[in-house]
A and B are shown apart, each in its own frame.
Chain A
Amino acid sequence: MPNPAHATGTDLLVLHALRCVGFAGLARVSEAVGLPEPDVESELIDLAVAGLVTRVPGDFGGWGLTEAGRAADAERIRDELDTAGVRTAVTRAYEDFLVLNPELLDLCTAWQMRSVDGVIAPNDHTDPGYDSRVLERFADFHRRADAVCAELSAALLRFQRYRDRLADALARARSGALDYVVDDMGSYHTVWFQLHEDLLATLGIPRH
């Protein structure tokens, strides 16, 4: 039997979600960690008391990390990686991720822009044949992406959330909610982009 995957505590889950999602309202943080809003809000308040997160009030307000929160997250996420002994496994999965990343960006670009008669123009989504070809390629891509997310989840359970969110975004897009390809805050690209940020943060690799 392989060791069960390491499970992250709720406080670190919430802190780290803000690190990867960026400045966000309660609903988005709750969606990112996959826990009910009241639970997440309670954690956020505790984190705010500890000086690690801060809330900007108002219509365009939301939650964000403080400098201290960013530093605390980096340290705790690094400790988690080493305590669980999964640095090698996550590094390997990150390299697999990097092979897939250009393909996903190609697919997103193909969804947004289309080349016809040698002219590249915005895809106006009036050709269902074209859109469904792109979505079929997304589905094909997802099978490979899911395998990488499975490797990650086997190492650190928190990565399972990306599996669920990516699968959900794809299912919604294929059932006609086209915003779930790149536009929505829960879209396939948005989740993938956060996964990219999470891998960099987890492995302590700076965006250069």
Chain B
Amino acid sequence: MTWIHPLSAQTEENANVLGGKGHGLVTLRRLGLPVPPGFVISTGACRAFLRDGQLPEGLGAELAAAVSALEATTRRRFGGPGRPLVVAVRSGGGVSMPGMMSTILNLGLTTEATAGLAAETGDLRFALDSRLRFLSGFAATVAGLAPESLEAVTRRGSGGEETRLAGAIAAVEALIRERAAEPVPDDAMRQLELAVRAVFSSWHTPRARTYRELHGLSHESGTAVTVQAMVFGNRGDHSGSGVAFSRDPNTGESTPFGEVLFGCQGEDVVSGGSVTRPLSELAEREPAVWAGLLEAMGRIEEHYRDACHVEFTFEAGRLWLLQVRPGGLAGRAAVRVAVDLADEGLISRREALLLISPRHLRHVRIPRIETAGTLDVLTRGLGACPGVAVGRVATTADRAARMAAEGPVILVRPQTSPLDMHGLAAAAGVVTARGGPTSHAAVVARSMGRPAVVGAVDLTVDVASVQAGGRTLPEGTVITIDGTGGEVVVGTPRIITAPTDPHLHRLLAWADEISSGDSGRDHIERLTAAHAVLLNPR
């Protein structure tokens, strides 16, 4: 085929053709790891579409053939009747642009296919939930509706779970009919074609353009589209989704780290809207999935010779990998991983030195909460402005401003509005329950240089107390927040800065050996001198 390549171990095209995501999945296939079957529509098809304003000749026929092959592999029918084939449609260019482009999951859930899925699983709630997810994704991506507008209609509705879902489905359908040029087609192939066009078109959204401009990426390369049989993390108790790092991204320690959500699809994990569980809970609740995940990450590390990050789903107790990315750790964690990998013999000391850039060393200097000892962690969110802040809890901007006269305070809010600005200005740091690293709260905290933790989703803010993890802290309680790792800790834990880091000292000693330099110089000079020797061998 010209435009479409199967996700198989035999596919030889590179990431420029398959996109980084597609290429990673092919790599996982070669490593013998579980990847849902599917195919990739190449970046070339995207370029042709963007150039000519229509899908390239022959793509339609190839798409039909690829879907037939997927039907045969899965023994399912796209759009039903009988056991329905449902697919996930994801974007992915040669270089990853996280969160910039479109994804449509649960595609192919026509009215008939939804009924088929309910009959097959005996679980109407699950089938309706999946159909609602499809419609929401389709509305956002193909019809261009803002997530807030969708949430406003899907949150409505009452009655039992199934009645509520049916009501929400009708509301989203009505919204799409009102806003979009055409209603959601009840034909699976037509849904797929519209989704592919939408993903291709999302290459040119202003956000994606901005991302490429700022990261020096070409506007010409286009995105690939991966189409895979859907695996359902929302199918009952033995299903779920998660993200995992092979090593702790905060410390670099060689213990898997991540988050999992039971009974949910992957978008719930990454959207930051739900309270996730620590990855280690998998070990107790789904030991086979946990063992499979550890084994997979071990094999991936050996292949890439670096730490890795995976997205996974398990459906009815069976593990599937949906994405892999090597590396991705920063600062102190990156240093520790490089040193450990050299100690484990996976890479040489020279390679370890080359894994670390001067940027990482600058990052190492940012103070962090010492996570080695026992920490009284209240909750975790996302680090939005690096640095550590210690202070007493204040739950409103007014009280933060007043309490700040008697020593540092941490402003804790559900989210921030302009009305909180004077409280933020008075506070030493800020914690919010909602929002991500690009929320208003994060932007304002950074503009004021305040360490910030955002999106601590299990946090509730009351009139004069905060609650998380089943505990209540009254206003005035001293807490410490880490705006890099996102920890919110009760009391005043130890804070570490770079000079006490043993892994950094070992790495720099290796650097001095290579450059025959002395250890009296600045960390960055020592690393740069070693790089100079390693990169320009005489």
Is B417 in contact with chain A by the CB < 8 A criterion? Answer: yes
Contact B359 A22 (CB under 8 A): no
Is B407 in contact with chain A by the CB < 8 A criterion? Answer: no
Is B19 in contact with chain A by the CB < 8 A criterion? Answer: no
Which of B149, B211, B418 contacts A190, CB < 8 Å? B418
Contact B420 A22 (CB under 8 A): yes
Collect the chain A residues with CB atoms within 8 Å of residue B214's CB: 110, 130, 133-134, 137
Contact B330 A119 (CB under 8 A): yes
Interface string of A167-201 (1 = CB under 8 A from B): 00000000000000011000101100110110000
Q: Which of B4-12, B438-446, B488-496 is the contact stretch?
A: B438-446
Collect the chain A residues with CB atoms within 8 Å of residue B419's CB: 22-23, 197
Q: How many A-B residue pairs have CB under 8 A?
A: 111
Collect the chain A residues with CB atoms within 8 Å of residue B213's CB: 133, 136-137
Contact B146 A109 (CB under 8 A): no
Q: How large is the interface on B (under 10, 10 to 19, 20 to 34, 35 or more residues)?
A: 35 or more
Contact A119 B359 (CB under 8 A): yes
Instruction: Say what secondary structure dominates the interface of chain B.
Output: helix
Contact A182 B443 (CB under 8 A): yes
Contact A98 B148 (CB under 8 A): yes
Is B477 in contact with chain A by the CB < 8 A criterion? Answer: no
How far, in Å, is B437 (CB) from chain A's closest CB? 7
Chain B residue with the shortest CB-CB distance to A181:
B447
Contact A121 B359 (CB under 8 A): yes
Is B55 in contact with chain A by the CB < 8 A criterion? Answer: no
Q: Knowing A21-B418, A105-B438 touch, does A60 contact B401 (C-beta < 8 A)?
A: yes
Q: How large is the interface on A (under 10, 10 to 19, 20 to 34, 35 or more residues)?
A: 35 or more
Is A118 in contact with chain B by the CB < 8 A criterion? Answer: yes
Q: Knowing A105-B439, A112-B446, A182-B447 touch, does A118 contact B330 (C-beta < 8 A)?
A: yes
Collect the chain B residues with CB atoms within 8 Å of residue A125's CB: none
The CA-CA distance from A172 to B415 in the complex, in Å, is 29
Contact B331 A119 (CB under 8 A): yes
The CA-CA distance from A21 to B397 in the complex, in Å, is 13
Instruction: Say what secondary structure dominates the interface of chain A.
Output: helix
Collect the chain A residues with CB atoms within 8 Å of residue B206's CB: 103, 140-141, 144
Collect the chain A residues with CB atoms within 8 Å of residue B209's CB: 137
How far, in Å, is A159 (CB) from chain B's closest CB? 16
Chain B residue with the shortest CB-CB distance to A21:
B418
Contact B418 A109 (CB under 8 A): no
Is B360 in contact with chain A by the CB < 8 A criterion? Answer: yes
Q: Knowing A95-B149, A109-B442, A190-B418 touch, does A117 contact B210 (C-beta < 8 A)?
A: no
Q: Knowing A103-B210, A110-B214, A182-B443 touch, does A193 contact B418 (C-beta < 8 A)?
A: yes
Collect the chain B residues with CB atoms within 8 Å of residue A95's CB: 145-146, 149
Is A26 in contact with chain B by the CB < 8 A criterion? Answer: no
Chain B residue with the shortest CB-CB distance to A91:
B149
How far, in Å, is A146 (CB) from chain B's closest CB? 14
- Give the residues from 73 to 108 in chain A that come closer than 8 angstroms, CB to CB, to chain B: 95, 98-99, 102-103, 105-108
Contact A109 B144 (CB under 8 A): no
Which of A23, A105, A115, A197 contacts B443, CB < 8 Å? A105
Contact B418 A117 (CB under 8 A): no
Collect the chain A residues with CB atoms within 8 Å of residue B415's CB: 207
Which of B210, B328, B362, B421 contacts A106, CB < 8 Å? B210
How far, in Å, is B152 (CB) from chain A's closest CB? 8
- Give the residues from 109 to 130 in chain A that come closer than 8 angstroms, CB to CB, to chain B: 109-110, 112-113, 115-122, 130
Contact A121 B211 (CB under 8 A): no
How far, in Å, is A200 (CB) from chain B's closest CB? 8
Chain A residue with the shortest CB-CB distance to B434:
A208
Which of B360, B386, B443 contacts A108, CB < 8 Å? B443
Is A156 in contact with chain B by the CB < 8 A criterion? Answer: no
Is A20 in contact with chain B by the CB < 8 A criterion? Answer: yes
- Give the residues from 204 to 258 in chain B that come closer than 8 angstroms, CB to CB, to chain A: 206-207, 209-211, 213-215
6 additional contacts (CB under 8 A) given A23-B419, A103-B210, A119-B357: A105-B442, A117-B357, A118-B327, A121-B362, A187-B447, A197-B417
> Which B residues lie at the A interface, using CB under 8 A?
144-149, 206-207, 209-211, 213-215, 327-328, 330-331, 334, 357, 359-360, 362-363, 386, 397-398, 401, 414-415, 417-422, 437-440, 442-444, 446-447
> Which A residues lie at the B interface, using CB under 8 A?
20-23, 60, 62, 95, 98-99, 102-103, 105-110, 112-113, 115-122, 130, 133-134, 136-137, 140-141, 144, 182-183, 187, 189-190, 193-194, 196-197, 207
Closest 6 A/B residue pairs (Cβ): A98-B146, A22-B419, A119-B359, A105-B438, A117-B357, A108-B443
